[in-house]
Amino acid sequence: MGLSQLLTLVGLNVVGMLTPGPDIFLVTRIATKSRPHAYAAVAGITTGLLVWVTLTVFGATAVLTAYPSVLSGIQLVGGAWLLWMGTKLVRVARRQLGEGVAVASTIDDLLGTPAQCYRQGLATNLSNPKVVLYFAAIIAPFLPTNPSLLTALSVILVIVLSNLVMFSLLATVISTNALRRAFLKAGPWIDLVAGCFFIVAGIGLIIAATCS
């Protein structure tokens, strides 16, 4: 696999990554309140991506296609997680709207510890096994039928690193002082929108799992 093919793969991956989804909403929501917590969430998301991309490159797509019950089971668990996460965010938003937010003293109350944000990022990314099918779609045209270990590792590396860079850039930009001050006033509403998005995404995964 040549450099031009790897760069094309990175471009396709970045375009897909920038499509609004649970990962984007999670990083945006956390970054409006704390950069370190946002970086922790990005690390969790990247870990999840590493799992999915590695599984894709080494044949998980065939397993999910041959055994759809595995896909449905993971979707049910992932949907339940997103539903729980969304409900939690909506409750937090309602509390903030009702009581006001003392941001400087309640960051850990609002977001949890950085370790908890890492786990949120990891669980959010792992909640949708169809990521494997997406990666298979963009990787398959570039990956030989029997890729060498070096080729496989190169594909994994460029996808994971491109996601890490883009999510880190997103977290950095949103958490700049100027944007944070603007976002903090809208913090409860951001939490509410993110919560509703997670609820809808969770319900969508559960419906997809039960109907497949």
Interhelix angle 22-31/149-174, rounded to 10 degrees, is: 40
Q: Is the pLDDT of residue 112 over 80?
A: yes
Confidence grade of residue 110 (pLDDT, cut at 50, 70, 90):
confident
pLDDT for 107: 74
- Cα angle 119, 165, 158; round to 5: 100
What are the residue ranges spanned by the domains of the chain?
3-10+22-211
pLDDT for 120: 94
User: And the tokens for 2?
Assistant: 């040549």
What is the arithmetic mean of pLDDT over 183-210? 82
pLDDT for 111: 82
More confident residue, 87 or 205: 87
Mean pLDDT for the chain overall: 82
Q: Is the pLDDT of residue 149 over 70?
A: yes
